[in-house]
Amino acid sequence: MVMSMVRIEHLAPDLVLIDTQYCEVPGAIGAYLLLGERPALIEVGPASTVDTLLAGIRAAGLEPDDLRAVAVTHIHLDHAGATGTLVHRLPHLEVYVHHVGAPHLVDPSRLLASAGRLYGDALAPLFGEVRPIPAERVHALGDGDEIHLGGRRLVAVDTPGHARHHHAYFDAASGDLFTGDAAGVALPGSHYVRPPTPPPELDVDAWETTLARLRALHARRLLLTHFGPHTWVNELLDQMRERLRAAVALVRTAVDAGERDEEISERVRAVVDASLEATDGPGAVGRYEVIMATEQSALGLIRYVKGTTRRR
């Protein structure tokens, strides 16, 4: 295997962003390494890029064996897929995850079935092998639970919306907020925020509450998994909320008009691509598609809208 060049960035003396270079694309999926008395990762990326992750850890001056903890924001494979592989290689590693997600790290069969419905035959080549984790290594977190990562104390913040089982991690001392997917996707150098809205757990009402909650933390910096640090905190969270609302409205109108799912998906793609290119310039669409295909985001919205329409 050809090892890609290591790409790491120091965000603070004790905090390093490692680029997993998923699908050879820089700035798509990140992992955060916290240095200090209890070396730890927040997010690990998919199993397919675990060697790049380990190379990044070494480039930051740490031996992977020194790692003590991993905290994941949620169990989707682009965030947590490598956790099992790491646990089997690194004997001291403890895993922290939302209590609703915890059983699916111990037994990933339902998670893999769900991901398989979205990705089909591409699942294994994209994400690699997802290994189960012994239950005694998995620590289920609830809202407000505190964990010790690196030299920092972080608080788990229940942040449903993108998924039911999602935590952000907040470090009140520095103002750093690790947002997973809860603040959406905003790539380096861009001021465009894209809401990742896949099935099956998308809950737009819950997500609105989550965004208000994140805003109320008064974070100094958002640290996104897709991708990197952003200091335009309030603008980012507000734009995320507006784009989420607009996407739901678009899909609801189309569903009410009786359009087929494929037509709705195309409609979403046209609107998203146009607004993205207007903000980021031509050719901007590709690097977002690597993180989440518009088709998947549209599918999640359609399913959500049809579900809430039935309930009304």
Task: List residues near Zn ion by CB under 5 A.
Answer: 76, 181
> To the nearest whole angstrom, how small is the minimum distance from the Cβ of residue 165 to Zn ion?
10
Q: Which is closer to Zn ion, CB of 35 or CB of 237?
A: 237
Q: Which is closer to Zn ion, CB of 35 or CB of 302?
A: 302
Query: Radius of gyration of the chain from Cα atoms?
Result: 18
Which residues on adjacent β-strands are paired with residue 10?
Answer: 16
> To the nearest whole angstrom, how small is the minimum distance from the Cβ of residue 159 to Zn ion?
12
Q: Which is closer to Zn ion, CB of 176 or CB of 181?
A: 181
> To the nearest whole angstrom, how small is the minimum distance from the Cβ of residue 166 to Zn ion?
8
Q: Which is closer to Zn ion, CB of 35 or CB of 292?
A: 292
Picking from 158, 143, 171, the residue whose alpha carbon sits closest to that of residue 36 is 171
> To the nearest whole angstrom, how small is the minimum distance from the Cβ of residue 259 to Zn ion?
26
Q: Which is closer to Zn ion, CB of 31 or CB of 60?
A: 31
The CA distance from 249 to 233, in Å, is 25
> To the nearest whole angstrom, how small is the minimum distance from the Cβ of residue 115 to Zn ion?
10
> To the nearest whole angstrom, how small is the minimum distance from the Cβ of residue 182 to Zn ion?
9
Quick one: tokens of 285?
A: 């669409």
Q: Which is closer to Zn ion, CB of 43 or CB of 181?
A: 181
> To the nearest whole angstrom, how small is the minimum distance from the Cβ of residue 74 to Zn ion?
6
Which residues on adjacent β-strands are paired with residue 153?
Answer: 148
Beta-carbon neighbour count of residue 246 at 10 Å? Answer: 14
The SS3 assignment for 8 reads strand
Q: Which is closer to Zn ion, CB of 27 or CB of 199?
A: 199
Buried b (16+ CB within 10 A) or exposed e, 106-121: bebeebbebbeebbee
Q: Which is closer to Zn ion, CB of 95 or CB of 202?
A: 202
CB 84 within 8 A of CB 75: no
User: Which residue of this chain has its Cβ atom nearest to Zn ion in the complex?
Assistant: 76
* 216 Cβ neighbours under 8 A, 6+ residues apart: none
CA atoms within 13 A on the CB side of 108: 21
* 191 Cβ neighbours under 8 A, 6+ residues apart: 232, 235, 236, 239, 279
Residue where the block lists tokens 């295909």 = 293
> To the nearest whole angstrom, how small is the minimum distance from the Cβ of residue 163 to Zn ion?
6
Determine how β-strand 138-141 pairs with β-strand 146-149. unpaired
* 117 Cβ neighbours under 8 A, 6+ residues apart: none
